[in-house]
Amino acid sequence: MDFETVIGLEVHTELATDHKIFCGCSTKFGGEPNTHVCEICSGMPGTLPVLNKQVVEFAMRAGLATNCTITRYNKFDRKNYFYPDLPKAYQISQLYLPICQNGYIELDSGKKIRIKEIHMEEDAGKLIHDEWEGCTLVDYNRCGVPLLEIVSEPDLSSAAEVQEYLEKLRAILQYTKVSDCKMQEGSLRADVNLSVRERGAKEYGVRTEMKNLNSFKAITRAIESERERQIDAIESGEKIVQETRRWDDSKGISYAMRSKEDAQDYKYFPEPDIPPIEISDEWLSSIEETMPELPDAKKARYINELGLPEYDTGIITGSIYLVDLFEETAEVCGSPTEAAKWIMGDLMKLLNESGTLPEDMKVSGNALGTIIKMLAEQKISRATARKVFEKVFTDNVDPESYVKENNLGVMTDTGAIRSVIEKVISENTKSVEEYKSGKEKAIQYLIGQSMRALRGQAPAAEVTKILHEILD
């Protein structure tokens, strides 16, 4: 039997606000447990929430960037369930009138992944399981952090499509400054709803949900594993149960957590403490006017106006951090082409080798642009430029100061250069003889040895010229 996979995503992204959604507590990541908590976000009796206006504006920006219709009259609802990380025993969310509806994200293939809705809600706390003490602790710092939940229709059919969709969504959220989308900090998490059915069937299969997957690799592995699990079960005559499953990425397996709830199980009702939100023409227009150039438009401009290769452009525009670096670098050095080459070459090499994410790099566009400019002006050699860039990457040094302090500038004294080359020639008589006997490749070795002896500080063209003058 031939099966096809049907996938829908619920993506949760933490918003880049300084304060929580209904109180003035900090949203800063990494504080000591239970230090970013007040009476409101801890659910103390008698407290009243006050909506953070910026959360609404960020939601509108996300909706506009994903081709959604903005719900001009929207409201909050209470989602009732008991869990230790939810001190009020309910979550303030949006069910009946979410702020954004009926959008889409277009994949490179042209396929449109429909977005059913985007709604605002508050995050829960974090449970910490202490196996040593045999207990579970709760950190409420995250409780009340503003979230957007972005719900797709079940339009995705493979792990590859899911990854592309998430990469595009992440870029959109970063470009609009809605979220930093740091998956390693949990500010972008995805719940995967997956089912399988016989290819060509009209009805969906029974779906399972895998929650809070926070890396692209984990999402890919979880999808592939769950697909195979469901197919094996169906072919063995078993029934798929609608349930929530937990993915253990270290073991490469998932296991059942609980039965999958439907909306009616949460006994939603309108939130009585927060008035409905009415979005005026003026308010919406003010948000539309501040919308940035989005990833697809920027990619097209880089290709058409700057002449950058499509592959390079796709990588750079996929991250706002690389975009910011590229544009500042190009402005400083005056060459978008060279800026892109350095980012795609030397920078990517250093990022990969060090396991550094673009959002965590220390390199500034001013520093990289200065290096490229110094190289173009023949103030440093290419070998030196790479050496300086590595130092900028690791220690964020000032390139010009570092070159000056370490005497790394290009040698201009031809007499001194000639003296070093003559010494190299005297120490490599065999290569000299090979060259004079007609082996042209031998001079490349001599050039390399000369450049090494000169610490890469002499122009290669000048070294080559002097070698030919001496040997020819």
d(CA 352, CA 364): 18
Helix or strand or coil: residue 324? helix
**For tokens 């290419």, what's the residue?**
382
Cβ 155 vs Cβ 107: under 8 Å: no
CA distances from 49 to 60, 272, 295, 416 (A): 21, 10, 36, 75
Separation of alpha carbons 169 and 11, rounded Å: 9
d(CA 188, CA 21): 17
Q: Identify the three-state secondary structure at position 158.
A: coil
**What is the model's pTM?**
0.85
Q: Could you state, in order of their start, the residue ranges of all structural domains in the chain?
A: 3-284, 293-405, 414-471
Give the containing element (helix H, strand E) for 210: strand 208-213
* pLDDT value of residue 262: 64
CB-CB neighbours of 144 under 10 Å? 30
How many CB atoms sit inside 10 A of residue 136's CB? 12
pLDDT of residue 260: 63
> What mean pLDDT do residues 156-184 have?
94
In sequence order, what are the beta bridge partners of 6? 195
138 in helix, strand or coil?
A: strand
For residue 265, pLDDT over 80 is answered with no
pLDDT tier for residue 30 given thresholds of 50, 70 and 90: confident
* Lowest-confidence region among 10-14, 212-216, 234-238, 393-397: 212-216
Q: Which amino acid is at 21?
A: I
Give all strands (DSSP E) within 260-415, no chain letters.
269-270, 277-278
Q: How confident is the model at residue 247 (pLDDT cuts 50, 70, 90)?
A: confident
What gap in Å lies between CA 346 and CA 318, rounded to an integer? 18
Q: What is the mean pLDDT of residues 294-315?
A: 96
Contacts 24+ apart (CB under 8 A), 418-423: 418/466, 418/470, 420/450, 420/453, 420/454, 420/458, 421/450, 421/453, 421/463, 421/466, 421/467, 421/470, 422/470, 423/453
Confidence label for 397 from pLDDT (cuts 50, 70 and 90): very high
* Of 362, 379, 358, 361, nearest in space to 370 by CA: 379
Q: Are 7 and 192 in contact (CB under 8 A)?
A: yes
CATH of domain 414-471: 1.10.10.410
